[in-house]
Structure 1
Amino acid sequence: MEPARRKPASKARDLFTDRYERRRDRLSPAFQRVAGYIDANRLSVLASSAIEIARAVGTSDATVVRAVQALGFSGLQELRRELAASLGQRTTPADNLKRTLDDAVTRIDAVVDDLLDVYAAGLEALRAPDFRENLMKALSALHDAQRVFVFGIGPTAHIAEYFAARLRRKGKPQQVINRTGAELADQLLEFAPGDALIMMAYGPLYKEAGVTLAEARRLRLPVILISDTAQGELAGRADVVLAVPRGKNDRFALHGVTVFCLEMLLLGLAAGESDRALASLARLEHLRQALRSGRQLMPTDPDEE
């Protein structure tokens, strides 16, 4: 006898999601970009004007207003009220994961489509003129830095370590800041004038981020913040903010677009410091060959290599 199939748990639906899903196929490509951005950046949209949303998406403010109206809202004010109501639901990581898995129970194909839509909207945000301008500012600060410190705590620490490893291979001196409590204090002792800080942090200003930012400010280090919004206390304390969507606010956080942003920084740095990057990769291959062959490396004068 076939076992009874589990009935999916009912979940709260918000008006924006309902209208977006019903009307998605009837929206023009420009309206779809606007709607996808709003869906993936609900918190920042609450505090953004039509012009700010248009800059993030790479369109006009008139297109933003028309897209909102095409979704059945009278304007941005009504849309913000509905978004604020939807964000009033519980949004802990466990709840977000549960909502994501509840979706998957009944519509796995649609969940995959939603994921692709989220990443497409995220990549569109990276194409926006304002984002490109901030990216260039970030690269300028990183090019001038003696060392690059990469801040990430919790799950983001793994992304910070990945990016630091890629920087190391390109010949850029770097260190990871990934500890909490007294151990974080030890890591912050490494800061020195001439360094730069890349901080991946989200939500309200928290203790570790606040202390790290204060120490960077004391030493006048340039701070590049990678977050999901350009608003709030964290953004207010950074020199450059790269606002990178992480998916829908009431669903499981996604980091793919963040990694893509880091790859843009990495390649930008390599392009500006190509001699050092190529020399570092050549040295890496020399060491690999020595390890494969088992031969012992002989001391050499670096100037003769």
Structure 2
Amino acid sequence: MDESRDGSANGVAAASSADVIADLRARIRERWEGFSPAARAVSRSLTERTAEELLFLSAADLGAETKTSNATVIRTVQALGYSGLAELKAKIAAPFTQANRPVVRARKRVESTGGDLASVWHQVLAESMDRLELMQPTFSLETYQHAVQLLLDAKHTLTYGFGASFVAADHLALVLRRVGLRVTALEAGGFRLADDLLAIGPGDAVVLFAPGRSVIEVDVLVDRARDVGAATVLVTEDPGSKLARAVTVTLHSPTTPTGLTGEPLTSIVVGDVLAQGVATLAAERSVEASEQLTALRRRLGF
């Protein structure tokens, strides 16, 4: 991207983020009279930050700065109409991640730590907790139960992760085998993916870790599953996307707005939740699989 285009993209990102900040300040003005002194202190600190500063700010940082607490920060942000600080940061981050080049985002990520390893530790842990927190408001017990039942009923389960999400897909295949399911992790992409898609058949279930945007490999996989009568469970950061409407069940996996934490973090958690759900509803099969696994490990000397 040349400098003129880069500058234009950054201008769009700044304008879009400014809209989010303007909305934040409007919410604060509307609720100011009803806020406690502690909530006002948090709100004042929020309004004094730039969009980029807010991206790398944790609830602990705000609590220390305003001499309140993490809980006060979270309650204040929720009183402003957000599910938590993570949702506010995600709204601010969207235009930056769409418009800024990866190298620009990487530089900002490094600069946010101030060159201090203790700060790195703190920020990565804080963002991890923020992302997990963001999963809670979108959780639906009915949807979760549906996804688990699809796996229990499937003749064969296949997992696929686009890009870095292959880590989550491979992990899910491993833990589902350990609770007694027949599972295959699809690894290929491009031309070779067509061969793997032949393995999807009627009565199967496909667990797909993918972004909300259109990706040819993902689109073809979903089409193949639908054509042969297989169910699809989509794990994505955008449960309202067009792709989400084309699958059987969608589960939310928030991505990182800053890049401080790995993309598959929340997807791995969703996978663990699915596997434990299978183990809970098919306890005898899970125990039998565990016994067989233990026996095989002993034969291998472990």
Q: TM-score, normalised by structure 1?
A: 0.69
Describe the superposition over 1:106-140 as per-residue Cα deviations: whole angstroms up to 9, x where unpaired: 34434433322322222223333644332222112
Partner of 1:31: 76
Helix, strand or coil at the partner of 1:106? coil
Give the partner amino acid of 2:73: S
What is aligned with 1:286? 295
Note if 1:16 corresponds to 2:51: yes
TM-score normalised to the size of structure 2? 0.70
Tell me by how many angstroms 1:290 deviates: 2.1
Tell whether 2:112 aligns with 1:103: yes
Write the distance in 2 (CA, Å) between the matches of 1:172 and 1:264: 15
Name the amino acid aligned to 1:29: I
1:282 Cα deviation from its structure 2 partner: 0.8
**How much does 1:263 deviate?**
0.7
Q: Structure 1 unaligned segments of length 5 or more: list them.
A: 1-11, 43-81, 294-305
Corresponding position: 1:260 with 2:269: yes
**Partners of 1:284 and 1:83 in 2: CA distance:** 44
Deviation digits for residues 12-35 of structure 1 (CA, Å, limit 9, x no counterpart): 986334357499325532234634
For the residue of structure 1 that corresponds to 2:158, the secondary structure is strand
Match of 1:301 in 2: none
Is the CA contact 1:152–1:200 (under 8 Å) kept in the aligned structure 2? Answer: yes
SS at match of 1:230: coil
Task: Determine the C-alpha separation between the residues in 2 that align with 1:168 and 1:40.
Answer: 37
| Cα distance in 2, alignment partners of residues 104 and 263 from structure 1 | 31
- Give the 5 Å matches for 1:172-211: 172-211=181-220
Give the stretch that moved more between structures: 24-33 or 282-291: 24-33
How big is the shift at 1:242? 1.1
Q: Which amino acid aligns with 2:197?
A: L
Tell me if structure 1 keeps the 8 A contact 2:54–2:89. no
Shift of residue 200 of structure 1? 0.3
Cα pair 1:170 1:270 within 8 Å, conserved: yes
Q: Is the helix fraction higher in 1 or 2?
A: 2
Q: Partner of 2:42 in structure 1?
A: none
Cα displacement (A) at 1:36: 1.9
Shift of 1:260: 1.4
Instruction: Give the deviation of 1:192 after TM superposition.
Output: 1.0
Aligned to 2:153: 144
Tell me whether 1:243 sits opposite 2:252 in the alignment.
yes
Letter in 1 for 2:100: R
User: Is the contact made by 1:150 and 1:164 (CA closer than 8 Å) also made in structure 2?
Assistant: yes
The reply on whether 1:125 has 2:134 as its aligned counterpart is yes
In structure 2, how many angstroms separate the alpha carbons of the residues matched to 1:112 and 1:127? 24
Residue type matched to 1:202 in 2? P
